[in-house]
């Protein structure tokens, strides 16, 4: 950290005064001589008023990200934000008897840009997205150890944004004993998470509340879980009384882990379907009779430029699902693409329903789970949206 300040242009300080974390390159009037990319610098207005501290990377259009606001020490502010994030999760989950796996730090949602921390029982899995946070890794690990005393901390930084930041992927244990697979509980159900050989940090924690909803709808129904991954929705559906569940995913190892998750919850995988296939191809085949279809695909739009192609993909998959679901059935459909907002997603589903010639009603709207908070000063932290549809 240095006392040399990044100076914003005239009239460009309003977002920072409103506690938005991002500084775009066009907002900067001047950078300190000899600025080191990834370094932590004070930020001031055109008039010289101190605004806080941020880290900067000239390789990126978002040139700076604020880690603190006001004149106080940025490391003290970071530590306090970690403490606040922990306090919120303690309010949400208590001692974790029913749920001991959740997002502990949600980047800007908890005031710490570039950092994700997920808690799986006594193991923490972190993802670092930016060069500035990469340089703060040791401080973050030290703070997490002091505040939580985890058994292990594993880093799984394999995000596309790291390429834009000039960073390579990084994976491995940063602290404590090395564990490959972890047993967790979610709403009283049991799951096995492979933190190293898995998508994201290991489990789709943001879908917790939606899995519970699916379980409440599943009684006596035939359920199709598309993009099923390790079977979270499938387990909830069966424990909610589903007559049968078919799980479809392109990953054989994910389906194998789904079968293990069935057994952990006293369910027999032999009585249900596990189909290793492309979901689009599967839905184009001779399948029908499902009364609850779950669509939780990966992000089709990872960049703004991907939105037109992603829109076609979302429309196609929803049209196919709407064609296959029985009359009087439900479709629970999601998009986790940040660049596809709620309004656009609903328009896409409308077009899919029209092309499928089905009468469709929206019963509920859904967003990311409560341990994935959206910073009211930084709305870009919202990414997951979903619709519960009733299909005539």
pLDDT in tens, 240-266: 999 999 999 999 999 999 999 999 999
pLDDT grade for 1, boundaries at 50, 70 and 90: low
| pLDDT above 90: residue 100 | yes
The pLDDT score that the predictor gives to residue 3 is: 67
Mean pLDDT of the chain: 95
pLDDT grade for 367, boundaries at 50, 70 and 90: confident
Q: Which residues pair with 152 in a beta bridge?
A: 123, 176
| pLDDT above 80: residue 279 | yes
Q: What is the largest CA-CA distance in the chain?
A: 70
| pLDDT above 70: residue 45 | yes
The pLDDT score that the predictor gives to residue 259 is: 98
Over residues 288-328, the pLDDT tens digits come to 899 999 999 988 887 788 888 889 999 999 999 999 999 99
Strand-strand pairing, 290-295 and 273-276: unpaired
The pLDDT score that the predictor gives to residue 298 is: 87
- Among the listed residues 336, 353, 369, 388, the single catalytic one is 336
DSSP conformational letter for 145: H
Helix H or strand E encompassing 249: strand 244-249
Over residues 179-208, the pLDDT tens digits come to 989 999 999 999 999 998 888 898 999 999
Assign 3-class secondary structure to 254-318.
HHHHHHHHHHHCCCCHHHCEEEECCHHHHHHCCCCCEEEEEECCCCCCCCHHHHHHHHHHHHHHH
| pLDDT above 90: residue 96 | no
Which of 374, 378, 325 lies closest to 352, judged by CA? 325
| pLDDT above 70: residue 223 | yes
**What pTM value is reported for the model?**
0.93
For the chain, give the percent of residues with pLDDT over 90: 85
Q: What are the CA-CA distances from residue 54 to residues 44, 63, 69, 114, 152 (Å)?
A: 11, 10, 9, 12, 29
Q: How far apart are CA 234 and CA 279, in angstroms?
A: 15
| pLDDT above 90: residue 4 | no
Residue ranges and CATH numbers for the domains of the chain are: 2-72 (2.30.130.10), 75-183 (3.30.750.80), 204-391 (3.40.50.150)
The residues near 352 (Cβ < 8 Å, ≥ 6 apart) are 314, 315, 316, 318, 319, 322
pLDDT grade for 2, boundaries at 50, 70 and 90: low
Which range has the worst mean pLDDT, 22-36, 216-230, 334-348? 334-348
| pLDDT above 80: residue 95 | no
The residues near 121 (Cβ < 8 Å, ≥ 6 apart) are 96, 100, 101, 182, 183, 184
Is 60 one of the catalytic residues? no
| pLDDT above 70: residue 277 | yes
- Six-digit token string for 213: 């909803």
CA 192 to the chain's CA centroid: 19
| pLDDT above 90: residue 215 | yes
4 vs 183, residue with greater confidence = 183
| pLDDT above 70: residue 8 | yes
The pLDDT score that the predictor gives to residue 99 is: 96
Residue 47 CB-density burial (10 A; 0-12 exposed, 13-18 middle, 19+ buried): exposed
């Amino acid at each position: 950290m240095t006392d040399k300040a990044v100076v914003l242009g005239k009239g460009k300080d309003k977002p920072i005064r409103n506690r938005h974390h991002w500084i775009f390159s066009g907002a900067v009037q001047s950078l300190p001589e000899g600025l080191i990319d990834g370094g932590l610098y004070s930020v001031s207005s055109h008039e010289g008023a101190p605004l806080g501290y941020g880290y900067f990377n000239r390789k990126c259009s978002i040139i700076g990200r604020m880690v603190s606001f006001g004149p106080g020490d940025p490391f003290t502010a970071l530590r306090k934000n970690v403490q606040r994030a922990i306090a919120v999760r303690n309010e949400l989950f208590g001692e974790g008897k029913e749920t001991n796996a959740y997002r502990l730090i949600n980047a800007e949602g908890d005031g710490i840009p570039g950092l994700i921390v997920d808690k799986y029982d006594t193991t923490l899995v972190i993802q670092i997205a930016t060069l500035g946070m990469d340089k703060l890794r040791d401080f973050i690990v030290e703070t997490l150890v002091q505040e939580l005393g985890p058994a292990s901390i594993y880093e799984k930084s394999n995000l596309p944004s790291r390429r834009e930041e000039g960073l390579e992927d990084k994976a491995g244990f940063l602290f404590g004993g090395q564990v490959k697979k972890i047993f967790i509980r979610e709403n009283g159900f049991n799951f096995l998470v492979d933190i190293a050989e898995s998508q994201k940090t290991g489990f789709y924690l943001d879908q917790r509340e939606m899995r519970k909803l699916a379980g409440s709808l599943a009684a006596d129904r035939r359920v199709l879980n598309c993009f099923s991954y390790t079977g979270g929705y499938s387990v909830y559906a069966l424990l909610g009384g589903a007559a049968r569940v078919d799980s479809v995913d392109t990953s054989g190892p994910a389906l194998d882990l789904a079968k293990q998750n069935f057994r952990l919850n006293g369910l027999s995988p032999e009585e249900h379907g596990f189909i290793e296939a492309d979901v689009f191809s599967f839905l184009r085949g001779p399948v029908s009779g499902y009364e609850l279809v779950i669509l939780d695909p990966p992000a089709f739009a990872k960049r703004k430029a991907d939105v037109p192609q992603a829109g076609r993909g979302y429309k196609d998959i929803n049209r196919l699902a709407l064609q296959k679901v029985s009359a009087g059935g439900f479709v629970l459909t999601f998009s986790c693409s940040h660049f596809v907002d709620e309004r656009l997603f609903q328009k896409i589903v409308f077009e899919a329903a029209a092309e499928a010639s089905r009468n469709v009603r929206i019963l509920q709207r859904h967003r990311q789970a409560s341990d994935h908070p959206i910073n009211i000063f930084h709305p870009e932290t919202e990414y997951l949206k979903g619709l519960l549809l009733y299909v005539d």
